[in-house]
Structure 1
Amino acid sequence: MDERTVITIGREFGSGGHEIGQKLAERLGIKCYDKELLELAAKESGLCQELFASQDEKPTNSFLYSLVMDTYSLGYSNSYVDMPINHKVFLAQFDAIKKLAQKESCVIVGRCADYALEDDPFAVSVWVKASLDKRVERIKKMYDLSESKATDLIQKTDKRRASYYNYYSSKKWGEAKSYDLCLDSGELGIDGSIELILKYIELKEKNLAK
């Protein structure tokens, strides 16, 4: 692996993207940032951490909600004073991702990280998908849900993530051209997906070294 490599993982809900990210980071001896990114962005921005949890990968809220929640953001940079809170939270995460990628190798799950790092030559963006049937089976087991409830949760979560990504980025969630590598974890399995990502990184670095 290069001196600095950052792998971003976009994922369908139930595809195992988070587990792939964690295990990939363990294999490489680097950190995996998922929810941890919220704490980091809150600390660096001075915004209340609860705001990041309430806004996490969710579509934009109403302007009225933004005004009410804006009381939590006092003390933040003056350049953000007139900005709705959801935009402040996104930009704080965006900045945290870029700073993180500049100082260490890591895996970042979700949160438009591929968009934030699209111009970073050391970043590799991965999209993880799986068939709905396999995702339903995974979510049923993880959360002890019925098939109908698991299906409903998957559809609502994917819709929310897509709305968030499509709103804040200039790309389309889940569209192949938005990512360096797209894989089907339902066919490859968790370990097979990790091997494919590692192989991609190896081949990319060989080509860059030529």
Structure 2
Amino acid sequence: MGMKIITIGRQFGSNGRNIGKLVADKLGVSYYDKEILKLAAKNSGVCEELLQNLDEKPNKSFLYSVVMDPYAFAYSYNNSGYSMNLNQQAFQATFETIRDLADKESCVIVGRCSDYILRERNDVLNVFIYAPLEERIKIVSERFPELSENKVKDQINKEDKARASYYNYYSSKKWGKMESYDLCIDSSIMSLENSADLIINAFKNGKKSTNN
């Protein structure tokens, strides 16, 4: 079975988003990153601002959700009592949107446990983009020149920790672990163009067992 979907996990500052966009452009397919939140809000009725606030963030307790959002009770009460907190509802909305997108079209999807959500499919190439911390500090510093190097390092650690907590909570795998992906790329050792071409080559020529 040929590949149809590319999912991209990425360390903060590794250029994973830029590489994913380049891959989509080269293949002439749709690219989904923040766009998923807009679609998820439209399809689920969950407020887009809420989805943005909880996007790839660690799961919080129900009490925390109530304090942060006075409408939490309305979202989370059913005939059986309180069920999902807002983080779980946000994930469910994202989950269903990603599944729908994969059913409808070939595309590149960045983050949000997309590799795990689509784990039962044999037409998905799961990629993880990483880079040494020193290289990521350079990239993020160029993006946010007003921040000191220490602030940049803190932001990188904060973002990576949040993504790992989110991924590890909602999946049965470990964020960034080689075994969780089909292809892992150190983006510091080649250009964005070459990184994208490497992914495209694997996408066009790769295949998975139908026994998975």
Q: For residues 90 and 11 of structure 1, what CA distance do their matches in structure 2 show?
A: 18
Match of 2:85 in 1: 84
Alignment of 1:14-53 (within 5 A): 14-53=13-52
Q: Deviation of residue 148 (structure 1)? A: 1.3
TM-fit CA distance, 1:119: 1.1
Aligned counterparts of 2:79 and 2:199: Cα–Cα separation in 1: 39
CA distance, structure 1, for counterparts of residue 206 and residue 30 of structure 2:
21
Greater Cα offset, 198-207 or 29-38:
198-207
CA distance in 2 between counterparts of 1:119 and 1:98 reads 11
What do residues 87-135 of structure 1 show as CA deviations (whole Å, max 9, x unaligned)? Answer: 0110110111011100001111010000001111111100000011110
Q: 1:195 aligns with which of 194, 197, 205?
A: 197
| Structure 2 residue matching 1:188: 3-state secondary structure | coil
2:128 aligned counterpart, secondary structure: strand
TM-score normalised by L of structure 1? 0.90
CA contact (8 A) 2:128 2:183 kept: yes
- Partner amino acid, structure 2, of 1:165: Y
| Shift in alpha-carbon separation, 1:92–1:70, aligned structure 2, 3 A | farther
Q: Kindly indicate whether residue 122 of structure 2 is the aligned counterpart of residue 113 of structure 1.
A: no
Give 5+ residue unaligned stretches, structure 1.
none
Q: Under a length normalisation based on structure 2, what TM-score does the superposition of the two structures give?
A: 0.90
Pick from 161, 164, 167: which aligns with 1:165?
A: 167
**C-alpha distance in 1 between matches for 2:77 and 2:206:** 39
SS at match of 2:172: coil
How far the C-alpha of 1:205 sits from its partner, in A, is: 4.8
- Contact conserved, 2:122 with 2:209, CA < 8 A, in 1? no
Structural mapping, 1:123-142, within 5 Å: 123-142=124-143
- Shift in alpha-carbon separation, 1:75–1:159, aligned structure 2, 3 A: closer
**Amino acid aligned to 1:102:** D
In structure 2, relative to structure 1, the CA distance for the partners of 1:119 and 1:141 (3 Å cut) is same
Name the structure 2 match of 1:103. Answer: 104
Q: Which amino acid aligns with 1:7?
A: I
Supply the distance in 2 between the matched residues of 1:162 and 1:189 (Cα, whole angstroms): 26
CA contact (8 A) 1:46 1:76 kept: no
Structure 2 equivalent of residue 147 of structure 1? 149
Instruction: Supply the distance in 1 between the matched residues of 2:56 and 2:17 (Cα, whole angstroms).
Output: 14
Say which structure is richer in helix: 1
Identity over aligned residues, as a percent?
48
Structure 2 gaps, min length 5: none
Write the deviation string for residues 132-186 of structure 1: whole angstroms up to 9, x where unpaired.
1110000000111221111111111101110111011110000001001111001
Runs of 4+ in 1 over 3 A off after TM superposition: 72-81, 205-208
Q: How many angstroms apart in 2 are the aligned matches of 1:40 and 1:174?
A: 26
Q: What RMSD in Å do the two structures reach over aligned CA positions?
A: 2.4
